[in-house]
Amino acid sequence: KAGVTQTPRYLIKTRGQQVTLSCSPISGHRSVSWYQQTPGQGLQFLFEYFSETQRNKGNFPGRFSGRQFSNSRSEMNVSTLELGDSALYLCASSFNRGGNTGELFFGEGSRLTVL
Amino acid sequence: QQQVKQSPQSLIVQKGGISIINCAYENTAFDYFPWYQQFPGKGPALLIAIRPDVSEKKEGRFTISFNKSAKQFSLHIMDSQPGDSATYFCAASMSNTGKLIFGQGTTLQVKP
């Protein structure tokens, strides 16, 4: 069974640009969550999608958005990039709503560098 | 109140020794406490998890001890091996939120 796939794995952008990251969950998983990982702030919850609906959102500005498609694949978008957005963005999937009802399976992440 | 505090930040243990990582939380509504292991270049992977109705859970060399009254939980790695060298994150969540609150992480180095 294929794991969580995130694309692209690495990308470099400049301030003010926008970026879209993609996540393909494990087949059959209906919930997708996104986390931002930085050395200073650690792992921080961005948002969770289940059945194409955003169910929960973390404490991030509106520049961070996401969506989930009918096949459970998810994308997140960051507009007007800032230097502080440089981070590893992790996608996680689970069969039900993850975090407390079951295991979260993480992808290897998309490493974003903002110059 | 949403924070999970993890210590130590880094840990060096000799092969065969016991590694102990501690976490503390404030929000008594948390009802699920997983530990994740992350190797460089990889995403975190679930190691072991516990719910507050259990004081201890053991899986192989990994044990979670949970103290509900103290609002603390810890990970014990028995017979630590060089292959256990990784970053470990504790986390907590509340029912029906789909959201994990992670500790800051502990970088474990097991010396051969």
Q: What percent of chain A has pLDDT over 70?
A: 94
* Cβ–Cβ under 8 Å, residues A70 and A90: no
Measured between alpha carbons, how far is A40 from B4 in angstroms, rounded to an integer?
Answer: 15
Cis before B82? omega within 30: no
Measured between alpha carbons, how far is A42 from B104 in angstroms, rounded to an integer?
Answer: 5
User: What is the band of A98 on the pLDDT scale with cuts at 50, 70, 90?
Assistant: low
A103 and chain B in contact, CB less than 8 A = yes
> Which whole number is the average pLDDT over A100-111?
84
- Give chain B's mean pLDDT: 94
- Find which of B59, B90, B99 to mutate to test the A interface (most A CBs within 10 Å of its CB): B99
Residue-wise pLDDT for A45-70, tens only, equals: 999 999 899 999 999 999 999 999 99
3 state SS of B9 = coil
pLDDT at A97: 66
A48 and chain B in contact, CB less than 8 A = yes
Distance from CA of A57 to the nearest CA of B (A): 9
- Give chain A's mean pLDDT: 93
User: What is the band of B97 on the pLDDT scale with cuts at 50, 70, 90?
Assistant: confident
* Cβ–Cβ under 8 Å, residues B75 and B20: yes
Task: List chain A residues with CB under 8 Å of B44.
Answer: 43, 90, 106
> Which whole number is the average pLDDT over B11-27?
97
Whether residue A22 has pLDDT greater than 70:
yes
Q: What percent of chain B has pLDDT over 90?
A: 87
